[in-house]
Structure 1
Amino acid sequence: MKQFVLSLLAATSLCAADHVVYEPAGAPKGKHIVLLSGDEEYRSEEAMPMLGKLLSQRHGFKCTVLFSVGADGVIDPTAGGSLSHPEALDSADAIVMLLRFRHWDEATSKKFEAAVNRGVPIVALRTSTHAFSGYAKDSPFAKWNFNNDGGWGRKVLGETWVSHWGRHKVEATKGIIEAANASLPVLRGVSDLFANTDVYEAAPPADATILVRGQILQGMTADTPPASYKKATAGKVEQEVNTPMMPVAWLRVVKNDAGTTNKVLASTMGAATDLENEGLRRLVVNGVFWGLGMEVPEKADVRIVGEYKPTMYGFGGFQKGLRPEGFELAK
């Protein structure tokens, strides 16, 4: 019997080697959150496990984190065709994602599409505006490519990649809550928003509800003053960079291809380093509750579970040799 149990444990560990599952602590909410990592720049492979631990241990959600991995099982953010254990999407009640230029195989893409078409709520961070690229022209998922009229990002989230509005790695972002919408439940307890990433140029559609605008700062710390200069938008219109400020977080309720609707919280903030900010973590957690139709806490507990020292963003600088099992909760 003992040998059977050991064998079962070994098999379970093997099956979970390419993803990580966080079982809920406290009173389970009965909801499954699937967190998708996969980008070459903003360290989603570090950010999504942190959010998964927080949502499971502080709020009672079952959370599964999926990764881009190489053939050796090591996390490889540059493996744009990889998403480990996509079967988790079959039971997803909500999706939290930070993706960039992915091009999964057809089976994986179908599972993601099916989850979206079920009407699951989506919390999408940073480069998720341009989550997909590289699908062949004859692929049924070529419509997702960011350079195909904005692709999945523009259709679902309301925006695609446009430009760095602030100076990349030079000018950070102070989040300014949109006064007209400050009383919305999704903004409960959210304050002092700061991201050390820059503001993206963004123009969400008229059906979007703007939550936060990004004030470009002159430097990379929260205590630096606002920037003041003019530049041209993608539409060639010159404007002061902070007048008006670009939207950096918004809500949408959008009809998908199956005719159901998805509640969407999109934010162009959300790098692993950005999520050191308590206000931004609370906005993400609130977005999950809002998306699921659950009462948003007055001030959600967003204390980080365990240690979190995210790697600075940038191409080629991700931690080498990381494996999904390395993000399991400490026993």
Structure 2
Amino acid sequence: MTTIVTLAGEGEYESDVTMRPVAETIARELGATLDYRTPSIIEDTPDFPESSFGGLDVLADADLLLLYTRFRVLPDDEVAALAAYLERGGAVVALRTSNHAFHPVAASPWEDWTAGFADRYLGSAWSTHHGHSSRTRVEVVAPDDPITEGLPPVFEVDSWLYVNEPPAAARVLLAGDPIDPEIPPQPSPVAWSWDDDGRRVFYTSLGSQSDLERSEVVRLLTQAVRWAIGEDR
């Protein structure tokens, strides 16, 4: 049976709470086993305290990592388990603040790994966004893709648009335009899939509380997980 490990928890969007029904829906739809983990400390700024997911040995046998964290500082053994999972080609579906999922700690043996996580494993690190008072118009730009099947061609979300630049080898699935931006508007990819030498990656900057209550977003994530674990093969 497919095993999905979900790591959810950060100090901005309450992902430790909002991701649980989404992850449970995905697991039920796919007939998968769900191991849902939240960090021992949710707060992330300004002090970046160390937190723990209770040990991540479960990743050794996992089929998918479903990730929605921000600025985590983890024990070395948990970072090592994450690194081993990714280096063996483990699939990843990641949301919003996961493009700054970890906070590098100076002089840590994992400083470079955590600093480079998003660029290396998701395809793009966080840079900026269009402001907390803005919203986003989302367009499906790859309607023929199994991940976007059944989505409305255009929809609006409450989350503000991140500025992203995925790798050239990625396939952009959703594109966004900011509504009432606080900075000069920069249309940007909202979701992409990436076959990184056999390791399947999906990232989306969607993920605010109201985003995760939308049926089209849950459908997008469910289909992304199905693709990432290779059920389309």
TM-score past 0.5 threshold? yes
Q: 2:121 aligns with which of 152, 156, 159?
A: 156
- Asked whether 1:246 is paired with 2:208, we answer no
- Asked whether 1:143 is paired with 2:104, we answer no
Q: Distance in 2 between matches of 1:294 and 1:278?
A: 21
- In the superposition, the TM-score normalised over structure 2's length comes to 0.90
Counterpart of 1:97, as a letter, is: L
Alignment of 1:113-262 (within 5 A): 113-139=83-109, 141-146=110-115, 151-164=116-129, 166-168=130-132, 170-178=133-141, 181-191=142-152, 192-218=154-180, 231=184, 241=185, 245-255=187-197, 261-262=198-199
Q: Distance in 2 between matches of 1:56 and 1:185?
A: 18
Q: Distance in 1 between matches of 2:177 and 2:167?
A: 20
Q: 1:281 aligns with which of 203, 208, 218?
A: 218
**Is the contact between residue 175 and residue 215 of structure 1 (CA under 8 Å) also seen in structure 2?**
yes
CA deviation profile, 1:31-59 (whole Å, cap 9, x unmatched): 00011112111111012211221023333
Query: How many residues were matched structurally?
Result: 228
- Asked whether 1:44 is paired with 2:5, we answer no
**Structure (1/2) with the larger strand percentage:** 2
Q: 1:94 aligns with which of 64, 71, 76?
A: 64
State the structure with more CA Rg. 1
**Is the contact between residue 52 and residue 64 of structure 1 (CA under 8 Å) also seen in structure 2?**
no
Partner in structure 2 of residue 64 of structure 1: 35
SS at 2:125 equivalent: coil
Post-superposition offset of 1:138: 4.3
* Structure 1, unpaired ranges of 5+: 1-29, 71-75, 219-226, 232-240, 256-260, 297-331
SS at 1:185 equivalent: coil
Counterpart of 2:219, as a letter, is: R
Post-superposition offset of 1:294: 0.4
**Is the contact between residue 96 and residue 124 of structure 1 (CA under 8 Å) also seen in structure 2?**
yes
Partner in structure 1 of residue 74 of structure 2: 104
Q: Distance in 2 between matches of 1:145 and 1:210?
A: 25
CA deviation profile, 1:13-70 (whole Å, cap 9, x unmatched): xxxxxxxxxxxxxxxxx10001111211111101221122102333311111111114
SS at 1:206 equivalent: coil
Cα-Cα RMSD: 2.0
Q: Distance in 2 between matches of 1:85 and 1:50?
A: 23
SS at 2:226 equivalent: helix
Post-superposition offset of 1:87: 2.5
Post-superposition offset of 1:230: 7.0
- In the superposition, the TM-score normalised over structure 1's length comes to 0.64
Partner in structure 2 of residue 265 of structure 1: 202
**Is the contact between residue 69 and residue 77 of structure 1 (CA under 8 Å) also seen in structure 2?**
no
**Is the contact between residue 9 and residue 70 of structure 2 (CA under 8 Å) also seen in structure 1?**
yes
Counterpart of 1:135, as a letter, is: V
How many percent of aligned residue pairs carry the same amino acid? Answer: 26
* Structure 2, unpaired ranges of 5+: none
CA deviation profile, 1:74-122 (whole Å, cap 9, x unmatched): xx34454322342322221001110111121111111111111221111
Q: Distance in 2 between matches of 1:80 and 1:279?
A: 35
Counterpart of 2:210, as a letter, is: T
Q: 1:211 to 1:46 in 2, by over 3 A?
A: same
CA deviation profile, 1:248-290 (whole Å, cap 9, x unmatched): 10111124xxxxx311110111123211111111111101110
